Amino acid sequence: ETGVTQSPTHLIKTRGQQVTLRCSSQSGHNTVSWYQQALGQGPQFIFQYYREEENGRGNFPPRFSGLQFPNYSSELNVNALELDDSALYLCASSLGDRDTPWANVLTFGAGSRLTVL
Amino acid sequence: GDSVTQMEGPVTLSEEAFLTINCTYTATGYPSLFWYVQYPGEGLQLLLKATKADDKGSNKGFEATYRKETTSFHLEKGSVQVSDSAVYFCALKKAAGNKLTFGGGTRVLVKP
């Protein structure tokens, strides 16, 4: 089975631009979570999607938005980029059910490293 | 709010040395506790977990015991190898939550 794949692996943007990061879930998984990992820090929860609906959000502004598609792949969109958005963005998938969409262990991708100049 | 505190690194060891990485947490209720490992250029991999007090998680020679009385989940390995060089993250998840709360990570460097 394939794991979680993310694209692009690296990208550079300038302040004020917009970026879209993509994630393909592990086969059979229906829940996707996104995390931001600043350099030298632990990952911070951005949001989670379960069956195409947002199912929880961390302390991030609305310019961070996401989508989950019927095949359970996902996108993270960030508008009006700021210098502090420079980080490694991690996608993680898992298999959940209606009552506990977050229940199972997360499988992480290798991440997309975003640099904002 | 919930939080996880880990000892700061880097931790530098010789091969076959004993490794301990301290982790303490603050959370209401009874969270599940995890250790993740991140090798250079890779994503996070689950190393071990424990879901209730006094549970011991173990994998690949690593162990950690869920201590509710001290709100701790220290990671140990009796004899490290060069291949154990990585960043280790302690994390918690609340029973009714949908996110992992991570500590800041501890970089471990094992020298031959």
Nearest alpha-carbon partner for A64 in A20, A4, A108 = A20
Contacts of B46 in chain A (CB under 8 A): 105-106
Q: Which residues of A, range 87-106, sit inside 8 Å of B by Cβ? A: 90, 92, 101-102, 105-106
Q: What is the pLDDT of residue B72?
A: 97
d(CA B50, CA B36): 12
Amino acid at B33: L
Q: What is the pLDDT of residues B55-89, one digit of tens each?
A: 999 999 999 999 999 999 999 999 999 999 999 99
Q: What is the pLDDT of residues A20-59, one digit of tens each?
A: 999 999 888 888 999 999 998 999 999 999 888 998 899 9
Contacts of A43 in chain B (CB under 8 A): 44, 89, 100, 102
CA angle, residues A26, A46, B23, in degrees to nearest 5: 90
Q: What is the pLDDT of residue A80?
A: 97
Q: Are A88 and A42 in contact (CB under 8 A)?
A: no
Q: Are B91 and B4 in contact (CB under 8 A)?
A: yes
Q: Which of B43, B93, B105 sits opposite A111 (nearest CB)?
A: B43
Contact B104 A41 (CB under 8 A): yes
Nearest alpha-carbon partner for B51 in B101, B104, B94 = B94
Q: Are A58 and A37 in contact (CB under 8 A)?
A: no
